[in-house]
């Protein structure tokens, strides 16, 4: 190589550095592509994404061609750098050491660190154009890649790994939650909350949101007929359970819209009423909300009675109750939407002890614990381990609570103040 001009040697060195940097950047870019976004772009007709998806269908092959090209270029670069160093410095003992150190720094900075960092930061900008080179190159040297990969894949099979197992790993709910939380300005905050609420449906059951048995409003057919007519004319509910004496003797559900036209008829009686009553729909108390939402859709139902393991009715749940878990209350007026919550002038709230904790959290933006009891009364009794006297004060999950009224076996009314700052809460608990 003594006859080759130094300018040509330096030009060849520069070209080899660029080619080596290309292989390094292409490897990182292809391996760091988001597989879900890549699939979306390919389905949308993006040509670069389609080419990348074909290459990544067998990552062992694309990695093989990249490493084959990279190692070949780096070996040639090392040899050429040594020859160039000898031409410049002569055949001295220090020449090889200088050439080795120099080429190591050049490879580290210019063909490894810089291009790989760039590719990791902008994988699509590197990966998609690189497919123009890697695709034809793979077809050109396929026999060599096939031979090398055959030996490497044989070693992988010994530990139970197959290169054909390239299907994207299913994304879990917690990963989806992280993606939604990191969406930032790309998604309105309200939409983020709704999506997160959908994910939370699997963590809650119908028991968490049901109307308790004692609060169920229905038609008792053993009542006076005039009382039944009055209730039909004034009820604010669209569907009512129909029973005799108590809810355990339920007959079915009445859609009030079907009964109102009958009120003006003289022959409207119990028999006519029962003709428009639909059979009851029962669901177990442990049914997850996401499953029950699908059940309502499949059964073409909007209301169901919740029963325990013994078949006793524990409460009532509606489709609207589940939808409110996703989109929030359909009204923002606390005084009308939350009949159990009454704002006071000092900023505190007078709350009914039978109020559902999840409803309170959603309406008031509180953070009362929901893992245990479902009602505020149950939460206080669990915390106190006794039925407190009126005037008793306690700190419940950071909220100052004062017992206002009790009955013989339950807390009737409490006053809740806004949550204390975290520092004050820690001091109080300490």
Closest CA to 219 of 252, 191, 265: 252
Measured CA to CA, the distance from residue 73 to residue 20 in angstroms comes to: 6
Q: What are phi and psi of 324, to 5 degrees?
A: -65, -25
375, β-bridge pairs: 356
Q: If pLDDT is split at 50, 70 and 90, which confidence band does 336 have?
A: very low
First to last CA, the chain: 81
Paired sense of beta strands 393-396 and 277-278, if any: unpaired
Domains of the chain: 6-158 (no CATH), 201-317 (3.10.580.10), 334-429 (3.30.465.10)
pLDDT attached to residue 332: 45
- CA-CA distance, 30 to 53, in Å (whole number)? 9
For 375-411, the pLDDT digits (tens) are: 899 999 999 888 899 999 999 989 999 999 998 788 9
Q: What is the DSSP string of 120-184?
A: HHSHHHHHHHHHHHHHHHHHHTHHHHHHHHHHHHHHHHHTT--TT--PPPPPPHHHHHHHHHTTG
Q: How many CA atoms lie within 13 A of 226 on its CB side?
A: 0
Convert the pLDDT of each residue in 282-312 to its tens digit: 999 989 999 999 999 999 999 999 999 888 9
The answer for residues whose C-beta is within 8 angstroms of residue 405's C-beta and 6 or more apart is: 390, 411, 412, 413
- The arithmetic mean of pLDDT across residues 415-427, rounded, is 71
Apex 351 CA angle, 346 and 356, nearest 5? 140
| Residue whose structure tokens are 């580290």 | 108
According to the model, what pLDDT value does residue 330 have?
Answer: 61
Place of tokens 């902008």: 122
Buried b (16+ CB within 10 A) or exposed e, 210-230: bbebeebebbbbeeeeeebee
> Three-state secondary structure along 330-391?
CCCCHHHHCCCEEECCCCCEEEECCCEHHHHHHHHCCCCCCCCCCEHHHHHHHHHCCCCCCC
Percent of the residues in the chain that have a pLDDT greater than 90, as a whole number? 28
DSSP H or E run through 89: helix 59-89
User: Tell me, what's the pLDDT at 277?
Assistant: 92
Q: What is the pLDDT of residues 245-269, one digit of tens each?
A: 999 999 999 998 888 888 777 678 8
pLDDT digits (tens, 9 = 90+) for 53-102: 898 888 888 888 998 888 888 888 888 887 777 777 766 667 777 777 87
Interval 407-418: pLDDT, tens? 878 899 999 998
Is residue 155 over pLDDT 70?
Answer: yes
Which pLDDT does position 333 carry in this prediction? 42
Q: Report the run of H or E that residue 402 belongs to, with start and end.
A: strand 399-406
Q: Which residues are within 8 A (CB) of 117 and not within 5 positions of it... i.e. 6 or more apart?
A: none
């Amino acid at each position: 190589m003594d006859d080759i001009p130094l300018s040509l040697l330096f030009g060849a060195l520069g070209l080899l550095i660029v080619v080596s940097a290309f292989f390094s950047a292409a490897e990182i870019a292809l391996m760091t592509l988001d597989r879900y976004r890549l699939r979306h772009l390919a389905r949308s007709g993006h040509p670069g994404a389609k080419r990348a998806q074909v290459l990544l269908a067998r990552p062992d092959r694309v990695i093989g061609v990249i490493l084959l090209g990279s190692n070949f270029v780096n070996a040639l670069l090392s040899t050429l750098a040594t020859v160039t160093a000898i031409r410049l410095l002569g055949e001295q003992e220090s020449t090889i050491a200088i050439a080795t150190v120099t080429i190591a720094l050049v490879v580290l900075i210019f063909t490894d660190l810089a291009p790989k960092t760039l590719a990791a930061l902008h994988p699509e900008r590197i990966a998609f154009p690189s497919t123009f080179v890697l695709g034809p190159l793979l077809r050109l040297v396929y026999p060599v890649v096939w031979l090398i990969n055959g030996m490497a894949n044989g070693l992988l099979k010994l530990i139970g790994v197959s290169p054909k197992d390239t299907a994207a790993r299913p994304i879990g709910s917690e990963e989806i939650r992280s993606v939604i939380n990191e969406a930032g300005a790309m998604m309105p905050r309200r939409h983020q909350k709704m999506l997160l609420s959908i994910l939370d449906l699997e963590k809650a059951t119908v028991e968490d949101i049901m109307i308790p048995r004692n609060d169920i409003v229905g038609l008792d057919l053993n009542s006076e007929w005039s009382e039944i007519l009055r209730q039909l004319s004034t009820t604010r509910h669209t569907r009512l359970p129909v029973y005799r004496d108590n809810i355990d003797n339920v007959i079915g559900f009445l859609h009030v819209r079907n009964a109102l036209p009958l009120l003006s008829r003289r022959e409207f009686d119990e028999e006519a009423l029962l003709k428009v009553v639909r059979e009851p729909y029962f669901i177990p108390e442990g049914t997850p909300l996401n499953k029950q939402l699908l059940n309502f859709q499949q059964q073409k139902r909007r209301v169901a009675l919740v029963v325990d393991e013994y078949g006793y009715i524990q409460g009532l749940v509606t489709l609207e109750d589940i939808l409110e878990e996703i989109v929030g209350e359909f009204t923002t007026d606390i005084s009308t939407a939350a009949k159990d919550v009454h704002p006071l002038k000092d900023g505190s709230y007078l709350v009914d002890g039978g109020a559902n904790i999840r409803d309170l959290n959603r309406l008031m933006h509180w953070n009362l614990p929901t893992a245990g009891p479902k009602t505020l009364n149950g939460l206080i009794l669990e915390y106190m381990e006794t039925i407190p006297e009126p005037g008793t004060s306690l700190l419940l999950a950071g909220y100052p609570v004062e017992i206002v009224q009790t009955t013989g076996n339950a807390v009737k009314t409490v006053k809740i103040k806004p949550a204390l700052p975290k520092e004050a809460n820690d001091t109080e608990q300490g």
